[in-house]
Amino acid sequence: MTLSISEYISTEYLNKLEDASDIVQYQMHPAFDAVPFVGSIKKHPYDKEKCLILLLHKQERMPWFKEGELIELKTRDIQALDELPSSIDFVGTAINIYRIWVRRKAIAVRFVPFEVSDEEFRPFDAHSISRVLSTKGN
């Protein structure tokens, strides 16, 4: 199965993916060697050993990550989830938000959507992505 980048970052498409909160049972967790991300976690559309994290807020400890970025990683690298208050997208759909504890030194793929041009590289932020996708009817 091949997905275009507009499908990968589409809120509508992400909402269709199965929620991945069941990959780690809720429990009190001791201190462990992990890094927290805040966002929505979904099961990968065609690889059961991976999951997708959509970053929904500025990451306090990692300012180089932007809201709206998508991260793909192995499910086994998720050590715990802390449920946070839900959010509502601009269409009115509720989005489950978690603090997602990822094993330190795990290997992940960071998807950075950008506008194709022979000029300066310009990555999009979450608001620019939404605006471009809504004007293209995707």
The pLDDT score that the predictor gives to residue 14 is 56
The pLDDT score that the predictor gives to residue 26 is 46
Q: Is residue 48 part of a domain?
A: yes
Q: Is residue 89 part of a domain?
A: yes
Q: Is residue 131 part of a domain?
A: no
Asked if residues 87 and 50 have their Cβ atoms less than 8 Å apart, the reply is: no
The pLDDT score that the predictor gives to residue 125 is 61
Q: Is residue 43 part of a domain?
A: yes
The pLDDT score that the predictor gives to residue 16 is 61
Q: Is residue 125 part of a domain?
A: no
Q: Is residue 123 part of a domain?
A: no
Asked if residues 20 and 48 have their Cβ atoms less than 8 Å apart, the reply is: no
Domain range for 82 is 5-113
Strands 108-111 and 50-55: unpaired
* Per-residue CA distances from 38 to 1, 54, 118 (Å): 28, 8, 34
The pLDDT score that the predictor gives to residue 45 is 87
Domain count, the chain: 1
What pTM was estimated for this model as a whole?
A: 0.65
Q: Is residue 31 part of a domain?
A: yes
Given a cut of 50, the residues of the chain with pLDDT beneath it are: 5, 8-9, 26, 137-138
Q: Is residue 67 part of a domain?
A: yes
